[in-house]
């Protein structure tokens, strides 16, 4: 391996551990296509659920009185790494500067996606979904420890529709504060779900992400907490890490407190979750819509007042009652087996009448559907 490849792999490993910060020049392109050079500092999340540290500034000599229109797109390179941001919205954009040197910071409001692409680290063909740190996953992990590198530990495996074996893992990194007044270290932990991919053939990563999101809708019911997807890392010929709304911490309120710990006990959780996910995948459009509303009502993605949550859950309960009433009122068309059973019962009834044996009238009446009281 040459020096360039070795350096690239070391940098890729640092990024995989969430321990790399990028400093680079980039191009900010406005909604109308106008381009502007900017300077960026980007620290991707260490683990799922954590916010990114992103700073964007404009060189003073390029500042104008006409700022770019929202939303913007940003792209740049730092060595072998390509950094792309989509849906960049700013709150305050500098329109003047005290001089022609230096940088003026842009006050960012929202970023839809942050993507970091780099050469493959030879970790195999897989996709790793970065999850919000929910209470159930925390309770399943045995704890974390200090160390020089990143670590991961398997929690359980689910057989999810269209994805197959999906490993849920806890992963953590140690951040050392060697330059602090009192040197120390911090361990930061998060959770992921890892899906191995076929060794060859085309892969539609967006489709895989959509299928996994669908499974999370119903798994949130068993977790008793909404499991939001914070991002994913897709490894093939190159590795691309995508983070959704990277400026925000991806956490959701827990519904476990006050309602008991489990819907399904840990001993049977994997079996129940797998069965539920497959049943949800096979359900019709109306049933799936109903379950999505139930999942969000019981496990909201944001905090809300008790009165608002009660109204939301009551409205969903009304939808469930309405659906059940309509289902019960819909006439069921007879099946092929129903016709066969009726035919055999009629033949048996005719045979009983023909024999004219003891209790023949009562037997004939019961074969015709009459009930006998005891």
Q: Are residues 271 and 361 in the same domain?
A: no
* 107 in any annotated domain: yes
Beta strands in 197-269 (DSSP E): 229-235, 238-244
* 315 in any annotated domain: no
Q: Give the domain-ending residue among 248, 265, 283.
A: 283
Place of tokens 């023949």: 360
Q: How many domains does the chain fold into?
A: 3
Cα–Cα dist 133/193, whole Å: 12
pLDDT recorded at residue 215 = 92
Domain with 152, as residue range(s), is: 126-283
Question: What digits encode the pLDDT tens for the residues 99-130?
Answer: 667 899 999 999 999 999 998 766 678 899 99
* 213 in any annotated domain: yes
Q: Are residues 136 and 271 in the same domain?
A: yes
The overall pTM is greater than 0.85: no
Average pLDDT of the chain, as a whole number: 79
Q: Are residues 109 and 142 in the same domain?
A: no
Share of the chain above pLDDT 70, in %: 70
Which of 341, 349, 343, 340 minimizes the C-alpha distance to 368?
A: 349
Q: Which residues contact 305 (CB under 8 A, 6 or more apart)?
A: none
Where is average pLDDT lowest: 25-39, 60-74, 330-344? 330-344
Q: Are residues 247 and 148 in the same domain?
A: yes
Q: Give the domain-ending residue among 118, 148, 182.
A: 118
325 φ/ψ angles, rounded to the nearest 5 degrees: -65, -45
Burial 200-236 (b: 16+ CB within 10 A, else e): eeeeeeeebbebbebbbbbbbbbbbbbbbbbbbbbbe
* 75 in any annotated domain: yes
pLDDT recorded at residue 62 = 87
Residues 19-39: what's their mean pLDDT?
91
- What DSSP designation does 64 have? -
Do residues 50 and 188 lie in contact, with contact meaning Cβ atoms separated by under 8 Å? Answer: yes
Q: What contacts 24+ positions apart, CB below 8 Å, involve 242-245? A: 242/113, 242/114, 242/115, 243/44, 243/45, 243/52, 243/113, 243/114, 243/115, 243/130, 244/112, 244/113, 245/110, 245/111, 245/112, 245/113
Q: Are residues 279 and 145 in the same domain?
A: yes
Ramachandran category for residue 279: left, alpha or beta (phi over 0 → left; psi -120 to 50 → alpha)? alpha
* 308 in any annotated domain: no
Q: Are residues 113 and 185 in the same domain?
A: no
Q: Are residues 94 and 216 in the same domain?
A: no
Q: Are residues 89 and 148 in the same domain?
A: no
Structure-block tokens of residue 142: 């045995």
Place of tokens 């893992």: 169
Q: Are residues 131 and 260 in the same domain?
A: yes
Q: Are residues 143 and 29 in the same domain?
A: no
Q: With a cut of 90, say whether residue 140 has pLDDT above it.
A: no
Q: Give the domain-ending residue among 246, 268, 283.
A: 283
* 16 in any annotated domain: yes
* 314 in any annotated domain: no
* 102 in any annotated domain: yes
Q: Are residues 151 and 209 in the same domain?
A: yes
Cα–Cα dist 164/154, whole Å: 16
Share of the chain above pLDDT 90, in %: 32
Q: Are residues 81 and 137 in the same domain?
A: no
Residues 84-112: what's their mean pLDDT?
89
Place of tokens 């019911």: 221
């Amino acid at each position: 391996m040459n020096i360039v490849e070795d350096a690239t792999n070391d940098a890729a490993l640092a990024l995989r551990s969430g321990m790399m910060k990028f400093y680079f020049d980039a191009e900010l392109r406005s909604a109308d296509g106008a381009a502007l050079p900017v300077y960026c500092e980007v620290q991707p999340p260490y683990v799922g659920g954590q916010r990114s540290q992103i700073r964007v500034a404009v060189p003073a000599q390029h500042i104008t009185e006409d700022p770019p229109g929202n939303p913007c797109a940003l792209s740049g390179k730092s060595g072998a790494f390509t950094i792309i941001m989509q849906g960049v919205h700013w709150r305050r954009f500098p329109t003047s500067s005290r001089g022609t040197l230096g940088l003026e910071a842009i006050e960012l409001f929202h970023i839809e996606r942050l993507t970091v692409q780099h050469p493959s680290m030879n970790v195999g063909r897989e996709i790793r979904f970065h999850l919000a740190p929910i209470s159930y996953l925390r309770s399943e992990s045995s704890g974390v420890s200090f160390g020089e590198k990143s670590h991961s530990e398997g929690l359980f495996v689910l057989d999810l529709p269209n994805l197959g074996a999906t490993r849920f893992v806890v992963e953590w990194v140690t951040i050392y504060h060697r330059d602090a007044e009192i040197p120390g270290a911090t361990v930061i932990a998060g959770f992921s779900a890892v899906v191995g991919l076929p060794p060859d053939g085309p892969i539609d990563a967006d489709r895989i992400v959509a299928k996994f999101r669908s499974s999370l809708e119903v798994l949130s019911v068993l977790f008793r907490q909404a499991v939001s997807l914070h991002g994913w890392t897709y490894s093939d010929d190159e590795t691309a890490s995508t983070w959704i709304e990277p400026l925000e911490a991806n956490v959701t309120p827990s519904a476990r407190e006050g309602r008991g710990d489990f819907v399904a006990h840990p001993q049977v959780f994997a079996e129940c979750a797998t069965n539920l996910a497959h049943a949800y995948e096979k359900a019709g459009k109306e049933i799936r819509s109903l379950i999505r509303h139930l999942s969000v009502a019981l496990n909201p993605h944001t905090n809300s007042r008790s009165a608002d949550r009660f109204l939301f859950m009551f409205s969903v309960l009304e939808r469930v009652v309405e659906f059940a009433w309509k289902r019960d009122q819909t006439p069921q068309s007879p099946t092929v087996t129903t016709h066969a059973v009726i035919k055999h019962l009629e033949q048996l009834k005719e045979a009983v009448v023909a024999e004219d044996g003891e209790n023949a009238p009562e037997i004939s009446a019961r074969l015709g559907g009459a009930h006998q009281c005891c």
